[in-house]
Amino acid sequence: MLTLDGATVRYGARAVLDGVDLVVAEHEIVCVLGPSGSGKSTLLRAVAGLRDLDAGRVLLGGADQAGVPTHRRGVGLMFQDHQLFPQRDVAGNVEFGLRMRGVDRAEREGRAAELLDLVGLPGAQRRAVASLSGGEQQRVALARALAPRPRLLMLDEPLGQLDRGLRERLVVELRHLFGRLGTTVLAVTHDQGEAFALADRVVVMREGRIAQSGTPVEVWQRPASAFVARFLGFDNVVPAAVSGTEASTVWGRVPVPAGSPQGDRTLLVRPAGVRLTAPGTGLTCRVAARTFRGLHVSVTLTPPAGPPLEATFPLGDVPAEDAEISVAFRAEDVVVLDEEPRTGP
Ligand SMILES: Nc1ncnc2c1ncn2[C@@H]1O[C@H](COP(=O)(O)OP(=O)(O)OP(=O)(O)O)[C@@H](O)[C@H]1O
């Protein structure tokens, strides 16, 4: 459906999109994730034809899009800054793209009714945009983007403005809706929870390049690098010398899964992989902080050397603040990252 082939965009001397190769298959939902400024929006704008490439190609359905204007690319856009027309009612907004394409009135009205049903706003045609809640406006924007039946739907921070509860609900609805319609989706977000809930495949960007691409489970279980691990919120990342099923680290010896990469590496220890042991039998740490998080407690530990260690303990099994405790590591929650660590300070 969509192929980016060495896609490059420069501002001055700086490549904000740096030779990106990406393929999105028909019916696939791909979410591009990355920190602010990593080039996510630029990637979408390049695919939409809102920004020309300085090198490389964008192909849609196999056809090179160089010189093809946005409205002829057959893509639907729902962008952060792409607000609804406040002076039009809901139907006027949803039908906008169809009117531009000269679709007759009966068909426009039929399509608008169908889409408003789909997005959970049946019968809202005559409502004023200003009378809608943020979530309802987002649904109307989605119906508007879907109305012309785009071959590719592109979303930039689709749920960015909404509060967390509503976002979590809408993201599940969106995934069902796209599945039902068979829509191919390329979405951009800085919210990893949103990306993981929505996507068939997640693409993590760093400084204009793809740092990792994989299913949500693959990326979550095996971050490709310390950058990706930290971006996902894992802070227990240390250099390690791996030999067999053991690694030597600043936190002492840490068991690693069989078949892990060997030699000088970077190690990720998931917080769930830090467990309490009998006093004196493991790594002695001081409890620096505790944060209650529903069903478990996040605990920051100060080991004798090296960076703080993040652990999660079940409620009821939580050491007191300032206590000295002994911890060991569970191999199944340890990941030896594939990348070679950087040398130097
Ligand atoms: N018109 C422009 N002129 C100069 N630099 C630009 C321009 N547009 C974007 N940039 C720069 O390109 C880089 C990538 O921007 P982009 O908007 O693609 O990032 P992003 O990952 O979408 O970030 P965010 O999550 O903050 O929206 C940024 O450093 C930005 O400052």
Q: Which atom of ligand 1 is nearest to the CA of 39?
A: 18
Q: For domain 2-226, is the CATH number 3.40.50.300?
A: yes
Q: Ligand 1 centre from 116 Cα, in Å? A: 33
Q: Ligand 1 centre from 188 Cα, in Å? A: 13
- Beta-carbon contacts of residue 70 (< 8 Å; ≥ 6 apart): 48, 49, 50, 77
Q: Ligand 1 centre from 172 Cα, in Å? A: 28
Q: Ligand 1 centre from 37 Cα, in Å? A: 5
Determine the distance from the C-alpha atom of residue 5 to the mean position of all C-alpha atoms in its chain, rounded to a whole number: 22
**What was the pLDDT predicted at 51?**
93
Q: Ligand 1 centre from 205 Cα, in Å? A: 13
Q: Which two tokens stand for residue 79?
A: 């962008």
Please count the CA atoms within 13 angstroms of the CA of 150 that sit on its side-chain side: 27
Confidence band (pLDDT; 50, 70, 90) for 344?
very low
| pTM as predicted | 0.86
Closest residue CA from atom 2 of ligand 1: 11
Q: Residue ranges of the domains in the chain? A: 2-226, 227-336
Side by side, the strands of the sheet bearing 252-255 are 252-255, 246-249, 237-243, 263-269, 334-336
The 3-class secondary structure across 99-119, one letter per residue, is HHCCCCHHHHHHHHHHHHHHC
**Sign (positive or negative) of CA dihedral 110, 115, 121, 127:** negative
Closest residue CA from atom 1 of ligand 1: 11
Closest residue CA from atom 18 of ligand 1: 39
ipTM over 0.90: yes
For 159-178, how does the pLDDT look when each residue is reduced to its tens digit (9 = 90+)?
A: 776 777 777 888 888 888 88
Residue of 18, 40, 154, 194 with the most ligand 1 atoms within 8 Å of its CB, for mutation: 40
Instruction: Name the most confidently modeled range: 21-25, 151-155, 335-339.
Output: 21-25
Closest residue CA from atom 28 of ligand 1: 37
pLDDT higher than threshold 70 for residue 321: yes
**What was the pLDDT predicted at 82?**
61
For 84-135, how does the pLDDT look when each residue is reduced to its tens digit (9 = 90+)?
A: 888 999 999 999 989 988 999 999 999 999 889 888 899 999 999 989 888 8
Q: Which two tokens stand for residue 22?
A: 């990406």
Residue of 9, 10, 14, 16 with the most ligand 1 atoms within 8 Å of its CB, for mutation: 16
Q: Which atom of ligand 1 is nearest to the CA of 44?
A: 18
Residues with CB under 6 A from ligand 1: 11, 16, 34, 36-42, 190
Q: Ligand 1 centre from 293 Cα, in Å? A: 34
> In the CATH hierarchy, which top-level class contains the domain 227-336?
mainly beta
285 three-class SS: strand
Closest residue CA from atom 13 of ligand 1: 37
